[in-house]
């Protein structure tokens, strides 16, 4: 059986400090032409920085990387249920035909005419359209 070692990852400004060490170190190595042996020294300095941070500032590390943790499923808010059957067939103000897919819904049971922006009265179930 193999044991999975808990991975720790630097977070916040500590991650930026670690990145700065690498960028400055690589720039110096390229500038001086010490690429091959210098990369090994830079690797040792990086590991030494992590050990020092682990002892001095343990809050600099996150126990598990955020990407490895399963994300909580995002729950989309339920869309309002528009009741097309409550709309009148024509706008009472301008007389334009009213289609439930084309009106501007201002609430779950409130809509405005697409042409004149008048608030459309909802017809109660069982009431005949005027």
Map out the domains of the chain as residue ranges. Answer: 9-62, 81-125
> How far is Cα 10 from Cα 122, in angstroms, rounded to an integer?
59
Number of Cβ within a 10 Å radius of residue 22: 14
Burial track 4-19 (b if 16+ CB lie within 10 A, e otherwise): eeeeeebeeebeeebe
Ordered per-residue pLDDT tens for the chain, 130 residues: 455 556 778 888 888 999 999 999 999 999 999 898 899 999 999 999 988 988 888 888 876 545 555 566 666 666 667 777 888 888 889 988 888 788 888 877 788 888 898 888 887 766 555 4
- Please answer whether residues 86 and 123 qualify as being in contact, where contact means their C-beta atoms are separated by less than 8 angstroms: yes
């Amino acid at each position: 059986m193999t044991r999975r070692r808990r991975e720790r990852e630097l977070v916040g400004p500590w991650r930026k400090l670690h990145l700065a060490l690498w960028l400055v170190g690589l720039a110096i190595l390229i500038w001086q032409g010490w690429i091959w042996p210098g990369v090994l020294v830079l690797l040792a300095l990086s590991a030494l920085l992590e050990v020092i941070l682990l002892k001095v500032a343990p809050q600099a590390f996150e126990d598990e990387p955020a990407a490895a943790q399963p994300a909580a499923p995002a729950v989309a808010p339920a869309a309002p249920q528009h009741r097309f059957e409550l709309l009148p067939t024509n706008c009472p103000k301008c007389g334009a035909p009213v289609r439930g897919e084309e009106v501007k819904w201002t609430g779950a049971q409130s809509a405005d005419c697409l042409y004149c922006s008048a608030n459309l009265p909802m017809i109660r179930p069982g009431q005949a359209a005027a």
